[in-house]
Every structure is written in structure tokens, then in C-alpha cells.
């Protein structure tokens, strides 16, 4: 099952969307109303693998869909997002989102080949996301092992920090200070612990 989030200020058609997508192995979860930060937290908690966002959000939001898209791109790197809109030209001209992530929202109401192709876009997006997240986990485990056995290079240490921050944003690793992953801080801690051992020995 593919887990897809959906944010729209109008909920008239969501029950129908959920049924139609569920038949194609896509579970549609409706995002709660809130600010961008609360929506980000919901995405992480619900383990959303792709996010569909209505462009023209109503007055209950102080942002449009492309602004949320841009924000999520910063705080949840790699999360696939799709903008659904009846105003494709306006969305594209904002230059916040690349055009191949913007779809005419009528695709959700279509039947036949066009709807099936749209479902395939969603599925492929989630597959790429899951694959990349798994690669980050593997890379983190490898680099963290090198870090703990002291064989990590400065370039790898920098990569470890980058991968850690990405995984932490998705709640995939423990929330530790990123400073503890650097050699300088680690060496300082080792020195402090050795001095403490010497004092205790006396």
C-alpha cells in the first residue's frame, strides 16, 4: 500500500478520491488543518510517502500550495509533492515548483487511461522516495560505524552529518546533537572522559 497525504481546503470529493485510489493500492490520508510546521509533523507521524497539495487553498490557510511545497522541500528533503490546481499557468509562473510536479486537478475526477497514468505517477514517486530513504539508512549505518571505529575521513564525516539531518527530519534516527558526530567534539569528549577516569583512579 502506498501512503499518500492530501491537503485541500474543500473536502467535498475526498471520500470519493479515497475510494478510487484505495482500489489502486493507494491509501489517501487527509491532512489536518494547521500551519506549515504542524503539517510537516503530521507527515512524519503518519509516515507519508508522497504529498498531494491543492494550489488554491482558502482563507483558513495563510499560504498557497506552492509555498507549502517549497517549505516541505526544505524541511523534508526528497519527499515527493504534487500540486493539484485548476490554475496550472499561475502555478508554473510562480517559479516555486517545477512544472512536472503540477497537475490539473481534474485528473483526480477522470476515469480510464488518464486516471491510471496519474496513479502510476503517484506510485512511482513513492517508490523512488522509499528507495532513497533506504539508501540513506544504509549510508548512515556504514558511516556511523566508520565514525565509531575511528576510520572515517573528513569528507565522509561531512556526508554523515548530511545524511543524519535528512534521516532525523523523518524521525528515522535518534535525535542527538549533530555536533556529537564531528571528530572535534568526539575527541574533546574522549579527553574529558580520560581526565575524569584519571581523577577517579586517584
Q: Which residues pair with 5 in a beta bridge?
A: 29, 51
Output the pTM of the full model.
0.81
Coil, helix or strand for 63? Answer: coil
Beta strands 50-54 and 2-7, pairing class: parallel
Residues 6+ apart with CB under 8 A from 47: 3
pLDDT per residue of the chain (202 residues) written in tens, 0 to 9: 999 999 998 777 889 999 999 999 999 999 999 999 999 999 999 999 999 999 888 778 889 899 999 999 999 999 999 999 886 665 555 666 777 888 988 888 888 899 999 999 999 999 999 999 999 999 999 999 998 898 999 899 999 999 999 999 998 987 665 555 565 544 444 454 555 566 556 5
**Residues 161 and 137: beta-carbon distance below 8 Å:** no
Give me the half-sphere count of Cα atoms (radius 13 Å) on the Cβ side of residue 201: 6
Amino acid at each position: 500500500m502506498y501512503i499518500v497525504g492530501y491537503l485541500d481546503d474543500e473536502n467535498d470529493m475526498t471520500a470519493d478520491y479515497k475510494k478510487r485510489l484505495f482500489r489502486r493500492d493507494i491509501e489517501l490520508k487527509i491532512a489536518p488543518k494547521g500551519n506549515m510546521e504542524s503539517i510537516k509533523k503530521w507527515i512524519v507521524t503518519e509516515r507519508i510517502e508522497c504529498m498531494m497539495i491543492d494550489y488554491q487553498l482558502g482563507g483558513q490557510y495563510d499560504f498557497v500550495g506552492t509555498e507549502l511545497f517549497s517549505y516541505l522541500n526544505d524541511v523534508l528533503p526528497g519527499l515527493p509533492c504534487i500540486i493539484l490546481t485548476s490554475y496550472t499557468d499561475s502555478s508554473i509562473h510562480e517559479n516555486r515548483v517545477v512544472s512536472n510536479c503540477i497537475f490539473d486537478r481534474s485528473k483526480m475526477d477522470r476515469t480510464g487511461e488518464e486516471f491510471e497514468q496519474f496513479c502510476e505517477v503517484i506510485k512511482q514517486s513513492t517508490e523512488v522516495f522509499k528507495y532513497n530513504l533506504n539508501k540513506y539508512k544504509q549510508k548512515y549505518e556504514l558511516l556511523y560505524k566508520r565514525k565509531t571505529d575511528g576510520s572515517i575521513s573528513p569528507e565522509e564525516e561531512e556526508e554523515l552529518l548530511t545524511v543524519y539531518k535528512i534521516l532525523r527530519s523523518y524521525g528515522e534516527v535518534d535525535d542527538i546533537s549533530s555536533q556529537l558526530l564531528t571528530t572535534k567534539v568526539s575527541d574533546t569528549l574522549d579527553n574529558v572522559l580520560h581526565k575524569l577516569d584519571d581523577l577517579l583512579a586517584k
